[in-house]
């Protein structure tokens, strides 16, 4: 793959893009700042004008990932409107779509060990991303009898965990975890079973 390089004076973004490629290839702990600099086509010394270390560079990749993720979730939510059920199901599917389309960002966000509380900006971006699924869960929760209604934050966390598990086990080509079913089918059927259990989908749907 050709280097993306240092274009139009935007060294900071060139380094982030280099880091994303290296994260995909080697994992978040498998590269050095010098490698990121080489990938971006600049000297190692130039990196330190923008990032104090590799973790700062990965945190910036995660920040940008959460911003994209929030937009993807918002788009999915809007596409499902005015149906609360369609919006909820769409946001679940959007998680899988994001992980497939933006693997470097996904790894930086969820597998690098970088805390979302590392900076206020990162925490805010992560909260905005979670808010889309929580809003969809809250709207759908209104259709559940109060005595059977889980808190929206729990509702959304269950589907987030299901989505994350499908991505980690079956959508990332992990050795020994191949499924006889496509990840999309696993996720859709899992969400369907969950929603049936809450009485949101008829048993025969």
Residue 7 pLDDT exceeds 70: no
pLDDT classification of 176: cutoffs 50, 70, 90: low
| Mean pLDDT estimate for the chain | 86
Neighbour-count burial of 87, counting CB atoms closer than 10 A to its CB (0-12 exposed, 13-18 middle, 19+ buried): buried
Residue 35's SS3 state is helix
pLDDT of residue 21 exceeding 90 = yes
Q: What is the mean pLDDT of the segment spanning 97-124? A: 92
Please calculate the CA angle 188-23-53 and round it to the nearest 5 degrees.
130
DSSP classification of residue 146: G
Region 191-197: mean pLDDT is 89
Mean predicted confidence (pLDDT) in 93-113:
92
| Residue 8 pLDDT | 44
Read off the pLDDT of residues 27-67 as tens digits, 9 standing for 90 and up.
988 888 889 999 888 888 888 888 888 899 999 999 999 99
* pLDDT tier for residue 205 given thresholds of 50, 70 and 90: low
Residue showing tokens 């104090």: 52
Residue 6 predicted with pLDDT over 50: no
- With tokens 């509380």, the residue in question is 117
Q: What is the pLDDT of residue 78?
A: 92
Which residues have a Cβ under 8 Å from the Cβ of 70 and sit 6 or more positions away?
125, 128, 129, 131, 132
Instruction: Identify the pLDDT of residue 148.
Output: 80
CA-nearest of 76, 107, 104 to 187 is 76
Q: What is the mean pLDDT of residues 125-132?
A: 89
What the chain holds in terms of domains, given with CATH numbers, is 1-51 (1.10.10), 55-197 (1.10.357.10)
């Amino acid at each position: 793959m050709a280097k993306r390089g240092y274009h139009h004076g935007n060294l900071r973004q060139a380094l982030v893009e280099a880091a994303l490629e290296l994260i995909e290839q080697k994992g978040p702990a498998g590269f050095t700042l010098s490698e990121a600099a080489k990938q971006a086509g600049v000297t190692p010394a130039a990196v330190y004008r923008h990032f104090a270390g590799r973790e700062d560079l990965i945190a910036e990749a995660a920040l940008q990932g959460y911003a994209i993720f929030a937009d993807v979730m918002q788009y999915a939510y809007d596409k499902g409107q005015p149906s609360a059920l369609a919006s909820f199901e769409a946001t679940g599917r959007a998680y899988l779509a994001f992980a497939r389309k933006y693997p470097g960002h996904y790894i930086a966000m969820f597998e690098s060990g970088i805390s979302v509380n590392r900076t206020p900006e990162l925490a805010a971006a992560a909260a905005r991303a979670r808010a889309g699924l929580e809003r969809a869960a809250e709207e759908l929760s209104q259709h559940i009898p109060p005595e059977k209604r889980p808190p929206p934050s729990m509702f959304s966390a269950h589907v987030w965990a299901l989505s994350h598990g499908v991505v980690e086990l079956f959508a990332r080509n992990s050795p020994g975890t191949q499924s006889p079913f496509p990840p999309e089918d696993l996720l859709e059927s899992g969400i369907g079973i969950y929603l049936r259990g809450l009485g949101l989908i008829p048993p025969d749907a």
